[in-house]
Amino acid sequence: MQDTSYARLDAISFRQLRLFESVGRLNSVRRGSEECNLSQPAVTQALAKLEELIGVTLFERRASGSYLNQCGDILYRRVIRMFRQMAHALFELEVPGGMVGADAIVNRLSRSQVRSLIATIEHGSFPAAAEALGITKASLQRSARDLEANLRKTIYYRAADGVMVTPAGMECGRRMRLALQEIDWAINEIDVARDIGESRIVIGALPFGGSVLLASVLDEFLASQKHVDVRIANESASEMMRCLRDGKVDLVVGLTQETVGDDLVSQTLAETPYEVVARRGHPLADKGKVSCDDLGQYDWVVGTHGSNRRNCFDSLFADQRKPRTPITTCSLPVIRNLLSGSNRLTLMTSYELQHESMLVRVPYQSALPCPTIGITTRADWLPTDLHKDFINLISSRVTTNSIAPVRRAVG
């Protein structure tokens, strides 16, 4: 995203967005001004400033009223989501008055109040947050006090290292940051619709299957998009789920996790059973029937603790002494090199193995777990057209490969 887009986003006030939502819903500046207890000239001026900041006209003005145009519809959809997410964040914080109280507080919040909370969480202290925002420490403290007064909840506390945010306040801040991301996406979608900006997508690639699947579609995806900025994050499964929850990645590709929580959903694309894998020419590769005792005679490269792959390994040797596992890694290139030059064994999914030229399946006949490969997103996520195109491409690529699809991706 260009720096100018960040500047536009930061300059848009919640007051402007509230007025925009009211006029967009009522199709009338007059009725919007009455609902918000402001004069029509004040509302008109605020909307004109909003249109100036975003760089487009948002309404079609007629004698019968003001109606959202295409760009206005894009922004309106995201503004509704932003305010709804903010209200749910306050409801989960248990502000007075339940959901009604949360809605009322959202109507009083300012961007500076929310920004003070998010910056303090991200930078760890008032001084660091103030410096990052380019404001004085006194201004940040004032915004923090105003926020607590609005919430009628204590979310800051004084510790030896200075003022800190409570755990409940940190969760609220995380949700608020996701809510603000809606306006970020709105600006980007509007720029793309005007053919003046790049579409953006941040993809999390889980170890093993995620990286393989992503590499198989990226060239085709880039060729189909006019202007696109693709960013790829590689982390462990647990860290990637955290990044997804925090909005640092848009979607995660790879082996679907057994438990992700109600706030995440997985679109299962295909089943891909685990296989015992070794180098070509391994003593077990051409053996007619391989037993678990045979597998236990060799060193293994295993996945990290808590991973599906590690759980499968533990289950495989649950009733006998486990073989040596001196190396734990999630790096496919490292595993490939470790196996190709030794007699070590590992577990791979059938999808991963079909992309390997130096590794082969060991003929071990006992049933192994059958994980699925897919796409994980936030449950309340609204994808852009770019995200939908990517998900549809991934889905079609998986179904044309030799693994068995179980469900078509939802676009």
Q: Is the model more confident about 274 or about 17?
A: 17
- pLDDT at site 158: 87
pLDDT tops 50 at residue 2: no
Q: Tell me, yes or no, whether 192 lies in a domain.
A: no
Give the Å distances, CA to CA, from 409 to 230, 270, 333, 406: 20, 10, 29, 10
Beta bridge partner(s), residue 67 = 60
Q: Which range has the worst mean pLDDT, 140-149, 202-211, 229-238, 264-273?
A: 202-211
- Residue 87 phi/psi, 5-degree rounding, is -65, -40
Q: Tell me, yes or no, whether 129 lies in a domain.
A: yes
Q: Tell me, yes or no, whether 257 lies in a domain.
A: yes
275: left (phi over 0), alpha (psi -120 to 50) or beta: beta
Structure token digits, residue 142: 């004032």
CA dihedral (92, 94, 97, 101) positive or negative: negative
- Neighbour count for residue 195 (Cβ, 10 Å): 8
Predicted confidence band at 279 (pLDDT cuts at 50, 70, 90)? very high
Beta bridge partner(s), residue 375 = 253, 267
Enclosing H/E stretch for 389 = helix 385-400
Predicted confidence band at 373 (pLDDT cuts at 50, 70, 90)? confident
- pLDDT at site 405: 41
Residue among 334, 404, 335 at smallest CA distance from 374: 404
**pLDDT, tens digit, for every residue of 196-244?**
878 889 999 987 677 778 888 888 899 888 788 899 998 888 889 999 9
306 with 318, same domain: the answer is yes
175 with 74, same domain: the answer is yes
Looking only at the bridges linking them, the beta strands covering 199-205 and 251-255 are parallel
Give the Å distances, CA to CA, from 59 to 18, 52, 73, 181, 205: 15, 13, 9, 23, 40
Structure token digits, residue 25: 């819903």
- Cα(first)–Cα(last) distance of the chain, in Å? 24
Q: Is the model more confident about 22 or about 380?
A: 22
Q: Tell me, yes or no, whether 65 lies in a domain.
A: yes
The CATH number of the domain where 131 resides is what?
A: 1.10.10.10
- pLDDT at site 292: 92
**pLDDT, tens digit, for every residue of 345-364?**
999 988 888 888 899 999 99
Q: Tell me, yes or no, whether 187 lies in a domain.
A: no
145 with 256, same domain: the answer is no
pLDDT tops 70 at residue 294: yes
Residue 161, domain extent: 3-182
- pLDDT at site 3: 47
Separation of alpha carbons 309 and 154, rounded Å? 43
Q: Tell me, yes or no, whether 188 lies in a domain.
A: no
Q: Is the model more confident about 22 or about 355?
A: 22
* Mean pLDDT (the chain, rounded): 89
Residues 217-248, buried b or exposed e (16+ Cβ, 10 A)? beeebeeeeeebebebbbbebeebbebbbebe
93 with 165, same domain: the answer is yes
Rounded CA Rg of the chain: 26
- pLDDT at site 411: 34
Overall average pLDDT of the 67-86 stretch: 97
49 with 159, same domain: the answer is yes
- Classified as helix, coil or strand, 277 is strand
Looking only at the bridges linking them, the beta strands covering 228-234 and 199-205 are parallel
326 with 357, same domain: the answer is yes
Q: Which range has the worst mean pLDDT, 130-134, 304-308, 381-385?
A: 304-308
Contact 272, 348 (CB under 8 A): no
- pLDDT at site 282: 96
pLDDT tops 50 at residue 406: no
- pLDDT at site 225: 84
- Classified as helix, coil or strand, 189 is helix
Q: Tell me, yes or no, whether 410 lies in a domain.
A: no
Q: Which range has the worst mean pLDDT, 247-251, 303-307, 324-328, 403-407?
A: 403-407
- pLDDT at site 159: 84
Predicted confidence band at 32 (pLDDT cuts at 50, 70, 90)? very high
> Which residues of 206-306 form beta strands (DSSP E)?
228-234, 251-255, 264-271, 274-279, 301-302
Looking only at the bridges linking them, the beta strands covering 251-255 and 264-271 are unpaired
301 with 335, same domain: the answer is yes
Separation of alpha carbons 106 and 93, rounded Å? 13
The CATH number of the domain where 323 resides is what?
A: 3.40.190.10
Percentage of residues of the chain with pLDDT beyond 90:
64
Percentage of residues of the chain with pLDDT beyond 70:
94
DSSP state of 248: S
Sheet of 359-361, strands arranged across: 346-349, 274-279, 359-361
132 with 222, same domain: the answer is no
Q: Tell me, yes or no, whether 367 lies in a domain.
A: no
pLDDT tops 90 at residue 320: no
Predicted confidence band at 402 (pLDDT cuts at 50, 70, 90)? very low
Separation of alpha carbons 153 and 95, rounded Å? 7
Output the DSSP codes for 327-364.
EE---HHHHHHHHHTSS-BEEEEHHHHTT-SSEEE--B
248 with 292, same domain: the answer is no
Task: Report how many domains make up the chain.
Answer: 3
Residue among 184, 231, 211, 213 at smallest CA distance from 331: 211
105 with 120, same domain: the answer is yes
36 with 154, same domain: the answer is yes
Overall average pLDDT of the 115-140 stretch: 93
76 with 47, same domain: the answer is yes
The H-assigned helical ranges of 37-136 are 40-54, 70-92, 98-106, 111-123, 126-133
